[in-house]
Structure 1
Amino acid sequence: MDGDAEQVTSKFLTYGAEHSGEVVLNSSNKPNQRFCFKRVSLLNLEENITSYFDIREPIIIRLEYSATQTIKDLEVSMRVDNSSGIPIFTTNRSSSLASGVSGGNYISEIEIPALFLVSGTYTIDIAAHVPNVEILCQHQSLITFEIEETGSDMALYKGTAFGVVFANIPWKEKYLIM
């Protein structure tokens, strides 16, 4: 590909990632697998599957997975990377729920808040693991999504590198009389 370095790097890093808003994973090739991801879906506010999001609306990531038995201390993790391959954040199931799972089928949802990520292209990695012991299942650059600038406070700075997340940090000011 020809183009500026950032554009070429972005295409390279997202090559092979699914752009439809949903990935169905086939785990039949590993019959003795204790854990498997079945589906990853990206949903908008209306719960429609999409890979394009308005910067002013949240993104819902739905993970469907199953365990064939109880897995003590199991951690399910999701990481979001930007188009340059830089990890933006990782979130773990244990931040909200007890670690470990019983045998069965599960659906988990993670909501990325509106006005959190700046406009751009992102990929998602998912993994199931027992921390520092074993990786049960891992998928890197599995699915890609885009956030479109539709009117944030930073819209007038389009094309300027002002960060990867929005920081709504209040300012305080005092007027000094000289």
Structure 2
Amino acid sequence: MSNTIIRVENLGKKYVIGHQKQERYTALRDVIANGAKSVGRRLLKPLGKGESDPTVEEFWALKDVSFEIQQGDRVGIIGRNGAGKSTLLKILSRITEPTQGSIRIKGRVASLLEVGTGFHPELTGRENIYLNGAILGMSKAEIKRKFDEIVAFAEVEKFLDTPVKRYSSGMYVRLAFAVAAHLEPEILVVDEVLAVGDVQFQKKCLGKMEEVGKEGRTVLFVSHNMGTITQLCTRAIHLSFGQIEHIGNVNSVVSKYLTFGDINSSTLQLRGKEKTNINNKKMFFHKISIVDQEGVGSTELDVRHPFYLDLEYEFKKTLKNIELSVRIYTNDGRPVLTTCQSDCSPESLGLRSIGIYKTTIKFPAMFLMPGAYLVTIAAHEPMIEILDIHEYVIQFSILETGTKLAKYKQHQNIGVVIYDLPWSELKLSKMDL
């Protein structure tokens, strides 16, 4: 008997995107005039083909996606922003209908795709536990048997009889995950909503998902944290622009994902690299370059000398409170450091006028341990909007060139950052010979 629990064949999801016309505003006279023009066109060409609307565009979030998942698999779904990961989970959770293709699923699916998925805001935490259980097809007796375990895991005992609309986002996600994981679905689907929870709760969730998988149930998990993916999952699917690039063993797929694309050059043109319409963006990156201490582009850098990261970007409109950030990862996806550029002083309010800018970041000598690293860059208005992001966009290596570190052959065992901290030694007593 086949152990296939999910079979997806030629799956596709199409959206129709509307673009605003380049008008400052639409007055009543414009509406009347446009209506008259439309009637005129229909009278002049009553039998002709309808003209395509230049403000409407078809976008395939998923295209020709096929795969099988076996019972008990823990599958990580990875890919850059806009790759189609969340769309795929919504279709598998029966939240969104596919445009084409077929899906066969055996068993109950519990989904946690965003804060409060499946919760009714006016009902209490207690009532929502029973509601979610009923949606999953559980009997009242089954829910009651798991009830205390769910409440203890979610740590919301004091607020159990409070309407969930009054919960914080952290309380919401704790209860939602506890319900989804404990009511024994055959398939557990989790998006990166766990990022809302605190560190201790995230550890609990990952432990629970691993336990669920070992019990023979299936877990689908979306995350940008490659360390978490490799820790939790046994298999992985790499999506790129709505299509599968790689599928298979988790370590193999993550390794290919982290080195996917043209990241071996010291300078990378970013404008137009992502399949998005930059005309609709407020800000976007043009290019990223990595140079050595001589100002020469290089992806192989001497640990004894500083190196520089150059960012070139453009603001299409005047914006304020904008923050740029750079994150460095090890070659296996572990985050090493994040550095931010922000200018939010009361005098300027972080104001950026229309134009092209260049920023240079200096990394000191004897800072990163010898090894291979990846760079992610982003621009955002904190807690409000991500303006542009490029993940794992460029790769570089720090080379050992005969320093005092050379005696340590296994650099990874002593960390990823070097720093000469001041040491102060004081002799407390004198021993007589």
Indicate whether the TM-score tops 0.5. Answer: yes
1:16 equivalent among 221, 235, 260:
260
Q: Give the deviation of 1:14 after TM superposition.
A: 2.7
Q: Give the deviation of 1:10 after TM superposition.
A: 7.9
Larger Rg: 2
Q: Which residue of 2 aligns with 1:109?
A: 360
C-alpha separation in 2, matches of 1:101 and 1:95: 9
Q: How many residues align?
A: 172
Which protein has the bigger strand share?
1
Indicate if the aligned counterparts of 2:278 and 2:284 stay in contact, CA closer than 8 A: no
Deviation per residue, 1:74-118 (Å, 9 max, x gap): 111111111121111111111799634111000000011010000
Q: Which residue of 1 aligns with 2:403?
A: 152
C-alpha separation in 2, matches of 1:86 and 1:149: 21
Q: Which residue of 1 aligns with 2:91?
A: none
Deviation per residue, 1:91-147 (Å, 9 max, x gap): 111179963411100000001101000000001000010000000100100000000
Unpaired segments of 5 or more residues in structure 2?
1-250
* 1:157 aligned partner, one-letter code: Y
Q: Which residue of 1 aligns with 2:384?
A: 133
* 2:372 aligned partner, one-letter code: T
Indicate if the aligned counterparts of 1:73 and 1:100 stay in contact, CA closer than 8 A: yes
Indicate if the aligned counterparts of 1:122 and 1:144 stay in contact, CA closer than 8 A: yes
Q: Which residue of 2 aligns with 1:94?
A: 342
Which SS does the other structure have where 1:142 is aligned?
A: strand
Which protein has the bigger helix share?
2
Is 1:121 the counterpart of 2:372 in the alignment? yes
C-alpha separation in 2, matches of 1:171 and 1:91: 26
* 1:42 aligned partner, one-letter code: I
The 1:155–1:9 alpha-carbon spacing in structure 2 relative to 1, beyond 3 Å, is: farther
* 2:319 aligned partner, one-letter code: I
Q: Which residue of 2 aligns with 1:64?
A: 312
Provide the alpha-carbon RMSD of the alignment. Answer: 2.3
The 1:76–1:104 alpha-carbon spacing in structure 2 relative to 1, beyond 3 Å, is: same
Q: Give the deviation of 1:8 after TM superposition.
A: 5.9
Is 1:39 the counterpart of 2:287 in the alignment? yes
Q: Give the deviation of 1:45 after TM superposition.
A: 1.4
Which SS does the other structure have where 1:49 is aligned?
A: coil
Indicate if the aligned counterparts of 1:44 and 1:58 stay in contact, CA closer than 8 A: yes
Higher relative contact order structure (alpha carbons within 8 Å, sequence separation ≥ 6): 1
* 1:35 aligned partner, one-letter code: M
C-alpha separation in 2, matches of 1:16 and 1:29: 22
Deviation per residue, 1:57-87 (Å, 9 max, x gap): 1110000000011111111111111112111
C-alpha separation in 2, matches of 1:32 and 1:171: 53
Unpaired segments of 5 or more residues in structure 1?
1-6
Is 1:163 the counterpart of 2:415 in the alignment? yes
